Amino acid sequence: MRLREREYQEVAKDANLQVVRHAANFIPYFGPVQTNPIMANVKVRQALAYAVPYDEIRQKVYLGQGQQIKSITPKIFPNYTDQFWPYKTDLDKARALLRDAGFPKGFDMTISYDKAIPEMEEACILIKSSFDKIGLKTKLVAVSSFGRPRSHSKREISWRSKTAISPSRISVGGSSPATTAASPASPAASRRACRGGRHPAY
């Protein structure tokens, strides 16, 4: 059974129990539907990457635990590199990229997430708030771990566990120092090849 970080910290208060942490490879991620002209636009995906509130998610959802992943693999693997990761939260830059992409007033978007993992809902609420600030009209939809919604809108992004299959990926996770605990989010679309994997948001 996997606990939330808040629950780990409550357990740690019990003098009779010890929480042992280690690096894990649980990686939540965004999987955009890139078969449509909006999500296929690299500048749109880059705008989303700059709009994600990374530090806020790490502090408010994971209570300072976990690591932001800046590669398609966690730091525990030898092919990890953050050499190709330029992103940090920058709403002005995100707005500028949306304008350059041809969406100065934003667009409607649905984010579906795995309702079986509480941290995903918490993180998605923060992400929605940030996306709304750059002009997107974002809707959150909780879905089952075992299946997708019957249909995806052209502007839909889904957030699922690493084992899910999606048309393409935007990474939104990282290796966690807590046993089975999830990690903070960091989005990246994957198209261009790079060392050890594919380059985020290109």
- CATH code: domain of residue 41: 3.10.105.10
Looking at 35-114, which runs of residues are DSSP E strands? 108-114
* Residue 9 in domain: no
pLDDT in tens, 87-110: 999 999 999 999 999 999 999 999
pLDDT in tens, 71-93: 877 788 888 899 999 999 999 99
* Residue 8 in domain: no
Question: At residue 193, does pLDDT exceed 80?
Answer: no
* Residue 27 in domain: yes
Are the beta carbons of 183 and 175 closer than 8 angstroms? Answer: yes
DSSP helix/strand/coil, 31: strand
* Residue 107 in domain: yes
Could you give the number of structural domains in the chain?
Answer: 1
DSSP helix/strand/coil, 29: strand
Are the beta carbons of 66 and 103 closer than 8 angstroms? Answer: no
**Exposure string for 97-128, b = 16+ CB within 10 A, e = fewer:** bbeebebeebbebbbbbbeebbbbebbbbbbb
Q: Would you place residue 69 in the very low, low, confident or very high pLDDT band (cuts 50, 70, 90)?
A: confident
Query: How many Cβ atoms from other residues are within 10 Å of residue 158's Cβ?
Result: 23
**What does DSSP assign to residue 20?**
P
Domain boundaries, position 182: 21-200
* Residue 108 in domain: yes
Question: At residue 64, does pLDDT exceed 80?
Answer: yes
- Quote the percentage of the chain above a pLDDT of 90: 36
Question: Does an H or E element contain 47, and which?
Answer: helix 42-51
* Residue 3 in domain: no
* Residue 193 in domain: yes
The reported pTM is: 0.70
Lowest mean pLDDT among 29-38, 57-66, 141-150: 141-150
* Residue 44 in domain: yes
